[in-house]
Amino acid sequence: MSTIGYAVPASVEEAVATVAATPGAVYLGGGTNLVDLVREGIATPSLLVDVTRLPMDRIEAADGGLLIGAAVRNTDLAANRVVRERFPVLSQAIVMGASGQIRNMATVGGNLLQRTRCLYFYDDGAPCNKREPGTGCGAAEGSNRMGAILGASEHCVAVHPSDLAVALAVLDAQVEVLGPSGPRTVALADLHRLPGDTPHLDTTLAPGELVTAVRIPSLPMARRSRYRKVRDRASYAFALVSVAVALDLDGGTVRGVRVALGGVAHKPWRATVLEQRLTGGPAGDAAFRSAAEAELAGATPGRDTAFKVGLAVRTVTAVLRQLRDEGGAA
């Protein structure tokens, strides 16, 4: 009765060719978001091209970094020994996301491309420029505790829900993509976009492009990294604010620092203002705090999200403090 088709391609190339040749075709990973979106009538694919059986399910060490196949399950990435030693922020972000069952199903590629949990996006009875361009943003004046405080537009205040993406942003990950016109590499930081006046576009991927792998470059300072997720339940809830931090100290001085925020914007928010302020300066509580405040200075919270500004400042400050105080543990 359903009009949806299903295909298992034999190769990555065949998958891309099939989607390119079939109007309405989409890639299917773990299905943990897509199946729900189809059921809700938000996604209306004609064909599901299952990419979970393609040979892109391996994690390989490469030049001090990692090459992670897009079909690797979240659980396997979190458990990977190299990830836990060299990039603990990544493992932590994954295990703070979703539930054990969902992590067993969800793929790396699918996680990055999951769609917002904005209540107005999910409700086909509500206006939403992301779901139906031109209908307006129901969330702007509506119930919006989960909404964006950075980089939002009058057209959309949705946030990206992935934890994994926030950790990858702090690690300067590169995303490998194969499309109808060939392969290309896009920085994770450039994969997701701000809503502007085209909020129906979550990413910069061209139609038919498939995420095939994520590459994490060598980053020794990431051995001292941490993910902190602040949410409404002790477990199994989306982030109100999340923070990924890597910190490199030289005595009391910040030699290097990387911070990304989740739950605050339409994309993982790399805190470049904060990083510039702190680098080369003292690793003191006051410096942490004022740098975090500077990062959030441009925040434009809505009616229900004013609390997120202070929460983000305090959470960033606390994680920096914690990483500093853990000192020699790294």
Partner 1 sequence: MLARPATRLNPMDLSSMGVGSSIPFLNTDEVLVDGQPVAVVVAETIEAAEHAAGLVEAAYETSELSADFGAALGSATPVKGMPVGPELSGRRGDARAALAKAPVTVDLTFTTPQQNHNAIEPHTTTAWWEGNRLTVQEGTQNLDWSRKVLARAFGVPATDVRVVSPFVGGAFGGKSKVWAGTIIACLAARVVRRPVRLALSREGVYRTVGGRTPTRQRVALGATADGHLTALVHTSVSRRGRVGGGPEQIVACSLDLYDADTILAEQSIVELDLMSNTAMRAPGETQGTYAVESAVDELAVALDLDPVDLRLRNQPGERRPVSRARYSHRRLAETLERGRDLFGWADRPAPGTRDGATLVGWGVAAAIHPAWEFPANVRLTAEVTGQVRLECAFHEMGMGSATAVTQVVADLLGVDPADVAIGYGESQLPTGPGAGGSAQTASIAGSVEKACARLRTRVDALAAKAGRPAGSPVADVLAAAGQPSLTVQVGADDGPRAMVGQARFLGKMLVDSRRWKRAATGAHYCEVRIDADTGELRVTRWLGVFDIGRVVNPRLASSQLRGGIVMGLGMALGEETIIDPRSGRIMNPSLAEYHVPVHADVPRIDVVTLDDPDPTMPLGIVGAGEVGITGVSAAVANAVRHATGRRLTELPMTLDTIHG
Partner 2 sequence: MVGFGLNGHRVTVQVEAFSSLADVLRTRLGLTGTKKGCNQGACGACTVLVDDRRVLSCLMLAVQAQGRSVTTIEGVGTPDALHDLQREFVTADGFQCGFCTSGQICSALGMLEEIDAGIPSAVADHVAAQPDPTELEIRERMSGNLCRCGAYNGIVAAVRAYAGRERAR
Residues near partner 2 (CB under 8 A): 1-2, 4-6, 8, 28, 30-32, 35-36, 38-40, 48, 50, 52, 75, 78-79, 84, 88, 91-92, 95-96, 98-102, 104-105, 233-236
CB 42 within 8 A of CB 132: no
Neighbours of 72 (CB within 10 A): 21
Which DSSP letter does residue 8 get? -
CB of 202 closer than 8 Å to CB of 160: yes
Q: Among positive and negative, which fits the CA dihedral 48, 194, 139, 160?
A: positive
CA distance 311 to 322: 16
* Nearer to partner 2 among residue 134 and residue 328 (C-beta): 328
Q: Does 31 bind partner 1 (CB under 8 A)?
A: no
What tokens does 114 get? 């999951």
Q: Which is nearer to partner 2, 229 or 277 (CB)?
A: 229
> Does the footprint of partner 1 cover residue 326 (CB under 8 A)?
no
Q: Can residue 152 be called a binding residue for partner 1 (CB under 8 A)?
A: no
Q: In angstroms, what CA-CA distances link 160 with 9, 38, 241? A: 29, 19, 11
The binder of 66, among partner 1, partner 2, none, by C-beta within 5 to 8 A per type, is none
Residue in the block written with tokens 């509506």:
142
What amino acid is encoded at 18 in this protein? T
Contact 127, 136 (CB under 8 A): yes
Question: Segment 237-266, which members bind partner 1 (CB under 8 A)?
Answer: 237-238, 240
Q: State how far the Cα of 272 lies from the Cα of 265, in Å rounded to an integer.
A: 14
From partner 2, partner 1, none, interface partner of 75 (C-beta below 5 to 8 A by class): partner 2
CB of 71 to partner 1, least distance (A): 24
Q: Whole-number minimum distance, CB 267 to partner 2, in Å? A: 24
Q: Which residue's CB is nearer to partner 1, number 177 or number 316? A: 316
Provide the minimum distance between the beta carbon of 290 and partner 2 in the complex, in angstroms, as a whole number: 30
CA pair distance 8, 15, nearest whole angstrom: 8
Phi, psi of 161 (to 5 degrees): -90, -5
Using rule CB under 8 A, residue 318 touches partner 1: yes
Neighbours of 43 (CB within 10 A): 16
Q: Give which of partner 2, partner 1, none residue 145 binds (C-beta under 5 to 8 Å, depending on kind).
A: partner 1
Residues 80-119 that bind partner 1 (CB under 8 A): 117, 119
Q: Quickly list DSSP for 126-176.
A: S--TTTSTTS--TTTTS--TT--SSS-BTTB------SHHHHHHHTT-EEE
Cα–Cα separations (whole angstroms), residue 34 to 31, 116, 187: 5, 12, 24
User: What is the total count of residues that contact partner 1 (CB under 8 A)?
Assistant: 33
Site membership for partner 1, residue 174 (CB under 8 A)? no
Q: Give the nearer residue to partner 1 in terms of CB position, either 87 or 238.
A: 238
The one of partner 1, partner 2, none whose footprint includes residue 102, by CB under 5 to 8 A per kind, is: partner 2
Q: How far is the CB of 234 from partner 2 (least distance, A)?
A: 7
Applying CB under 8 A, which of residues 74, 92, 212, 317 lies at the interface with partner 1? 317
Site stretch for partner 1 (CB under 8 A), options 142-150, 203-211, 245-253, 267-275: 142-150
The strand pairing partners of 173, in sequence order, are: none
Applying CB under 8 A, the residues found at the interface with partner 1 are: 1-3, 39, 41, 117, 119-120, 122-123, 125-126, 138, 141-143, 145, 230, 232-238, 240, 307, 310-311, 314-315, 317-318
